């Protein structure tokens, strides 16, 4: 079946630095990838939709300058958290969509900003 | 906008049956999905209903009534490993976005 690889699985960074999270579809081409954020004991909140070759579309309330999304190829989407602060500490999950397989989720990235 | 309501927590014993209800309000409804998530892990797909009726997959079944904007997930023969959070999610026609409910934490006791 479809597999989405997400790296890193966890990262600790200093406040003010930037962190890049990669999401890669291993055996299929994903024209659309979604990025979610999940705080402890809460639901997954959609942050943005990443489409290959075009600008990402962000959900209301999500700062596009803070959460930079790049979908340069059909198999790779990246989320960069810029100038991270402790309140950005969360679980970030990507998901690729394909009609044949539905939604395939990455394993998630636990970000801790200290 | 979209909203999905599901109970926050359910506790049951091993071998029991648990039903998790989900009501939703959304535009451009395409289908209702269910996901399981263990602490620290990614969501795992359980079931999907695009049409009214019951879908059965082993110990898990899911039901949808589009006219009532309602669905449920039925967990049968509960096992300890079923302790997890369960999310209903609506697939919207526009952009194929998936919107999640708040999640139901299921605790299975011996």
C-alpha closest to that of A68 among A85, A45, A84: A84
Please give the Cα distance from A91 to A16 (Å, whole number): 18
- Looking at beta carbons, which residues of chain A come within 8 Å of B96? 32, 97
> Alpha carbon of B99 to those of A13, A72, A81, B94: distances in Å?
29, 25, 22, 12
What sign does the CA torsion over B92, A28, A4, A101 have? positive
Residue of A nearest to B1 (CA): A60
Say if the Cβ atoms of B98 and A103 lie within 8 Å.
Answer: yes
A80 touches chain B (CB under 8 A): no
Is the distance from CB of B89 to CB of B46 less than 8 angstroms? Answer: no
Question: Which burial class, exposed, middle or buried, applies to A51 when counting CB atoms under 10 A from its CB (0-12, 13-18, 19+)?
Answer: middle
Q: How far is B14 from chain A (nearest CA, A)?
A: 23
A101 or A45, higher pLDDT: A45
pLDDT tens for residues A75-85? 999 999 999 99
pLDDT in tens, A37-71: 999 999 999 999 988 888 899 999 999 999 999 98
């Amino acid at each position: 079946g479809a597999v989405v690889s997400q790296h890193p699985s966890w990262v600790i960074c200093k406040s003010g630095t930037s962190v890049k999270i990669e999401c890669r579809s291993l055996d299929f081409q994903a024209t659309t990838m979604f990025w979610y954020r999940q705080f402890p004991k809460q639901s997954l909140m959609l942050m943005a939709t990443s489409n290959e070759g075009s600008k990402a579309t962000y959900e209301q309330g999500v700062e596009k300058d803070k959460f930079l999304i790049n979908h340069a190829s059909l198999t790779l989407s990246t989320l960069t958290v810029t100038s991270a602060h402790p309140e950005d500490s969360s679980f970030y999950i990507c998901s690729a969509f394909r009609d044949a397989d539905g939604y395939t989720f990455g394993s998630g990235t636990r970000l801790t900003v200290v | 906008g979209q909203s999905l309501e599901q109970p926050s927590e359910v506790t049951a014993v091993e071998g029991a049956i648990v039903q998790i209800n989900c009501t939703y309000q959304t535009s451009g409804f395409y289908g209702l999905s269910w996901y399981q998530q263990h602490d620290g892990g990614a969501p795992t797909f359980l079931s999907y209903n695009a049409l009214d009726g019951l879908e059965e997959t082993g110990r898990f079944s899911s039901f949808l009534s589009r006219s009532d904007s309602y669905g449920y997930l039925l967990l049968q023969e509960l096992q300890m490993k079923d302790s997890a959070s369960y999310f209903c999610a609506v697939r919207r026609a526009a952009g194929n976005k998936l919107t999640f409910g708040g999640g139901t934490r299921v605790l299975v006791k011996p």
